[in-house]
Structure 1
Amino acid sequence: MRRRVLIVLMIYSTVVVLALSVPLAVLVGRERVQRFGENRAAAATFFAELSSREDDSGLPRLRESVERYNSLYDEGIAVLDRNGQARAMSGLDVERPDVQQAIAGALRNQRVDFPSGLTPWSQPSVLVAAPVGGGTQVDGAVVIAASTDAARRDVATAWIVIAAGALLILATIVVIAAALSRWVVRPLTVLSSRVHSFGDKFHTPLSIDEPQQPMPATPTSTAYVGPPEVRELSGAFDAMAEDVETATAAQRRLVADTAHALRNPLAALRIRLDLLGMRVPDSAVDAHVKTTLEVDRLSTVVEDLLVLAAAETPAATQTVSCDVGATVTDRVEFWSSAMEVAGVTPSVTKSEETLLATVPEDDLIRILDALLSNATNYAGADAMVEIDYRAQGGHVVLSISDTGPGVPVDELPMLVDRFFRASSAHGEGTGLGLSIVHALTERAGGSLHVSVRRPSGLKIELAFLREC
């Protein structure tokens, strides 16, 4: 994978460098040919003006200037009259077709166009022609066979510098890309290695250095795509998830089987204690009562563990809904007598519309029973219990709050943990009630939020998807 990341970075960097260096090289060629053209055009204009000032008596001076130019720059030059006859010439064959074409154009008061750009492999010379005279009166022509050697050398030197700079930039990018690709890929490689070494049930480890064949598709996922390391890591994670799911299911079965196996012996022990109670002497009555209470507590724990194991079992995929208002009314009526005995006053805020939530009715009954039981047992005398349900967006929000002593803020996140009881709790309890509520809520796709009620008390808010 590191090699592929490096290749991608290098391709991108190469494209960027070429996009910058190629236009720069073209610009250098155009700038050089512009200076070259301006210089040679000025030379042709100079000889054209000199020819127009000199008559036949000044031909020796004109020829001397032409020969001096040819010896100095090694470029052929010819100065002709209006009939195309040479007045002064040095190093240029005027009989060449291209020269004759340039002369004809100059006599028609036209100048030869220079190439738009210059490269190291351009022609070794170009013809520069200028008319003698001005306006509509053309008295002759000047033609120079300008050498492009110096200009081509300058362009080649500039291109070499640009290429060297581009290669230096690419080399720097290679070093940076190598370090960057190692930094990006290393966590994935380390994670893959750690996943391979996790647990004894893992499948046969795959090499993280050699390419692997794509993992086969599973019933719950499509075929893996992407780099071999990612495919291999995905397969390893699927194997680990399967092992974790198997271990979780085994744990739930162990809890359920253990609780089920204990329920019958505890029931039998409770019956025997009742029978034994009829013959217990007065001195052992207190011990018998305490033993009976402990057996009852263990029976309650066993029943709660069975309910919790069932709550943590994934529900069927089919959508089930219930009427929240009707269920709340039914359960509050069921708990009203127990609340009256405990000195707790319930208050229900009903919604004006029928609210259907995507939670099984049996699960919602268990949730409400657990919450109302906690409020009855722990809110205390003269406390108010407020039950409210309402529509909020695409959810049905159910909240139960009380005006009791509440729970310390630092203990709120632990209330849904198994067997945890708040420091403010008093009386009997297993510490499994809110764990069951949390498991049933999550199984229905809902959420649970526990907060402090102001000025005192506890507020539990549940949110379920609303069925429209």
Structure 2
Amino acid sequence: MSRRITWTLVALTSVLLVLAVVPLAVSLTARERVAYRDSQRAATRVIAAAAEEHLSDGKAATTLRTELAAAARAGDCAAVYDASVRLVASTPCAAAQGEEAEELVEDVLRGREPEPPDSEGRLLAAEPAGDVREPAGAVVLARSSGPLDARIAAIWGWSAAIGVAGLAASVLLSVRLARWVSRPLSTLDASARRLGEGALDERADVRAGPPEVRRLAATFNTMAARTEALVHGHRAVVADVSHQLRTPLAALRLRLDVLAAGADRATAVELASAQEEISRLSRLVDGLLAVARAEQAVPRPTAVRVDEVVADRVAAWTPVAEERGVLLAAGPGGTAPTVALGAGHLEQILDNLIANAVDAARSGGSIRVDHRVTGAAARVRVRDDGPGMTAEAKAVAFRRFGNPEAGGTGLGLAIVHRLVTVNGGTVRLEDTPGGGLTVVLDLPRWPDREGKREKRAGGPRS
């Protein structure tokens, strides 16, 4: 944004400077040329007046020589011709005028307005000596164009200096303006990112930038304060519910244990059924609390090695799988990806998926957990060869109690979906070739240098 503001203002200033400075320099150049020509013609007329006194009135050439000497001292080359185009008097350098001077004299003697030729390095001017219609002679004066060129160069030099100075001032002003506008927005963006990462006490600076940006920062702070209050309120509710529900359930379970110890066989069977229902209710409460915690979680991403977590969770669940006659193994992985997830989230995700797969797998079945890199994401798959799920069940599997075919609480996939999506990933269900269910997780990769090199190189190496 700051670059766009800077370049826009610089381009606009450059156009304005060109439209203002260039026409002014052209006008000053033309005015300087006219003034230089007028000065040359005035000097020529002075010599022509002295030449008229000598040629028409027959006076001595003293005044004429004086004017020619003054012209020579000024650096001009002057020549006086009579009516027959014969050279009467001249300065020492007049011999260099050549045929151009004679052509100008002929034009003057015929009563025509001469057109001075464009001669490199000098300017010629011709004036009649006496009456324009019947001149007694003509005067040709050649003056170096060096002073005129120097003045014109000075005009364009000062114009360029003014343009450069204006452009430099515009660049400085544009940079300061762009920073004044963009820096508060960058700060606000950083605050929003930290708030999204879980820093609920993050607030933006409302003292810098334009009024619109300050109002936006104030609105952001209001939103952040309300979000913090809501999240803290939800956490308090979850903590209270957890305490208020678990305590009476534990007390009820203890009382049933005491009653079962001294009851007869029929009563003991009924009490055992009641204890199973209480255990099921406890698991349901724990599942609901886990979903509530997952839904209110605002994770701060950390670098998590997928291969290490997969190996750890497979090792932890292997004894449970072996008790049920199920083979649990980690599939061969390629490049070990590092993902950006909240602390402990990948462990919780895999625990829920492996638990569901172990419950669904038949004796003698297998469960495989593998991972690989797919562009900017890390893909983790949990595959089993159990009965699988129907299309209708897969469509509602990620909802709370959405799967009517679930053998447990029906909350495991809801927790997985929430934990994956809150970290910026995706999860989907697919059929395992040959039968069974495959859960596919696409998790955001940690933006390390290795990932950036792979991205520049066109993707990860296989």
TM-score by length of structure 1 reads: 0.49
TM-score by length of structure 2 reads: 0.49
